[in-house]
Structure formats: structure tokens, C-alpha cells
Amino acid sequence: MFAKQKLFFALLLLLILVSACAPAPTATPVPPTAAPKPTEAPKPTAVPPTAVPPTAAPKPTEAPKPTDVPKPTEAPKPTAAPVAAKGLADKFAQPDQTVEYHFMIQVAALAEKDLDKAYSASVVEPLKTVVEIGALGKPKPGIYVDSKEYGLEKGNLIIRVRDGQITLKARASSPEVLLDLENCSSKKYEMDYFGTPDYSISSDIKFEASEFDIKPPALTITKLWEFIEKKCPAVWKQIQAPVKSAGAIEIPGVANMYSAEAKLKHATAAKLKEAGVAVWFFPPTDKFLVELAFTGFVKDRADVDKMYAELQTTLKNAGLLKADQSSKTQQYFASYFGARK
């Protein structure tokens, strides 16, 4: 048993020695393995091209032009008067439209308190060679309104107040600048002849005495505007511009207006629509006027113009034409406001 163990250890020792003395095995070189290439992303499958119209590149947004920028609102400029409708001149040329002719008559000093006695000697007798004049009617109060700067007149507008009637009149030397007033109670196109023609469009507002008191101090400018607006809103709207630009409008005074019918002693007088004499006083001043006026038709204009020229010569030669041939309206304001500056 012992011998077997001895033999076993001897063989084990021999095996150890042989292993220690044997040359180490040569390592077989192993080629380096190449690093794996990165996997490429799969290429997209080609799609057959579809013809697509080129889209225009959006244009750059332009800066707003100066005209695109809202302009600041300007304050309204005073307007002389709204421009008349095209073709307005044709309305004055209609055969049945009228032309009113005026002569301011030179008369010696005349006082209203002496009118009954002085009328015949101062007015009727001096004119009897050219006209037959009837008796004077009762006086009617009459009022015009304007500013001392004549703002309404500069705007070609006249506003007159009488018993039972307010008259708004657009008047100018040319029809193209006239305001074609709306028809309130009645309306008239007419030429006023003062040596040269003026064109006028008048619109009347008629009322009962109980509706509106025209006697100052009951009558005020504010009440007048309110009444015009109430009775004829359309014409009130039209006159806003000249009224607003006229300045401080006043009631200068109340004139006493007398009138008489007349008949001219001329062959053409038969063609006239009417004729008359006006005598106006402007209390409390000592101013007054006497006017001879007559109205003809456009269709008879040539004959009536000729008659007017002949009468003018006759009156002038007789010393009966007043130097101041301005209208009754202008003489009313001159009497109360004084001579124009």
C-alpha cells in the first residue's frame, strides 16, 4: 500500500517537471477584427417627380404709402355757400320766370309821422310823368338778420322776417354759387335787376300769428333758428354752413314797410306781371327809402330791358334817381349798422 502511494507521488512529480520544462506554446497571431462599419440609413425610395408649378415667393410687405396713412381731420373751413346744382342757371332762363327791376327814388326829407300829408307831394306828384301810384297800405313790420360783419350776405344768404312769413333768399351775381334752397311753403327763382342782374332763389315759410311772435324782445335769434328748424328741417340743414360762419348774428331793428300798387305809363307796361312803390322807415333813426319796382317775365326780357333803360334816362334827367342804388336789404342794414367800413 505504501509502495503504491510512493509510486503515485513519483509519477505526479515527474509530470510536474516535464510540464515545467516544456517550451511555452507560440501564440498564433490573430488578425485584428475590423471595426464594424456604421449601418447606413436606408436610402429613400425614389419617387417619380410630379410636375408642381413653382410657387411664387411671397412678396415682402410694403410699408404703407403716405397716402395710406389717415390724414388728420381738418377743421371745416367757412364756406361762402354750397355750390349750386349743375344746370341751375337753366331754371332762371325759363320763359315764365321773372325779373324784378328796381329804382331807388330821390325824395326830399320824409318823416313817418308826416307821411299822410307828405306822401302825395313827395312821392306821387314827382313820379306822375312815368307812373301812376295808388294809396299806401298799412305798414308792416319787417326784420332782416345778419352780423355786423355781414356774414350771411357774404355767404350769399338773406333772411327776412315779417308777419306770417319768413323768407330765406340765396342771392348772388352768378347762379353757379347759389344754394338751391328747399321748398318750404313756396319757392321762387328770380332775377333782381339793379343795373346789373342778381340771381335769387327764395323759399318762404308761412305761419299763423299765434305760432310765432316776431316782435322783439319776444323774437330772438335762438328762437328764430328753432322755429325755422321746426317748420322746415330741410332748409335749416342747408343753411347751417353760412349761419355758423357768419359770426354773431343780430336783430338790428324793426323797419316799418309801406307799399302801394303802381301802373307804369309805357307801352310795354302791359307785359308786366306787377309794379309798385315801397316806402320804408327805419326807427328810431331818421333813415328811409322810396323804391319804384316792377316785375316782368324772361320771355319779354328784351322789351322790358329796353323800357327799363328808357325809364332810367327819364328819372335821371328829372333828378329823381338816388345816388345810392343799393337794394332795400342793404339800405336796411346801413341804417342800423352804419356805413360799411
Q: Which residues pair with 170 in a beta bridge?
A: 157, 201
pLDDT tens, position by position, 220-240: 999 999 999 999 999 999 999
| Dist CA 256 CA 138 (whole Å) | 9
88-337 CATH, one of 3.30.1600, 2.40.10, 1.10.3470, 2.40.320:
2.40.320
Q: Residue 12 has what pLDDT? A: 59
> Whole-angstrom Cα distance, residue 136 to residue 291?
13
CA R_g for the chain: 54
Strand partners, 99: 191, 296
CA distance 261 to 231: 31
| Domain residue limits, the chain | 88-337
The beta-strand segments (E) located in the chain are 98-104, 131-133, 140-144, 146-147, 157-162, 165-172, 186-193, 197-206, 249-250, 255-264, 274-281, 288-297
- Kindly report, residue by residue over 259-269, the tens digit of the pLDDT: 999 999 999 99
pLDDT at 75: 39
Q: What is the pLDDT of residues 301-332, one digit of tens each?
A: 999 999 999 999 999 999 999 999 999 999 99
Across the range 263-277, mean pLDDT stands at 98
Position 16 confidence tier, pLDDT thresholds 50, 70, 90: low
- Full-model pTM: 0.75
For 108-163, the pLDDT digits (tens) are 889 999 999 999 999 999 999 999 999 999 999 999 999 999 999 999 999 999 99
Residue closest to 296 by CA, chosen among 273, 316, 277 = 273
Mark 135-152 as b/e (b = at least 16 C-beta within 10 Å).
Answer: ebeebeebbbbbbbeebb
Residue with the larger pLDDT of the pair 78 and 209: 209
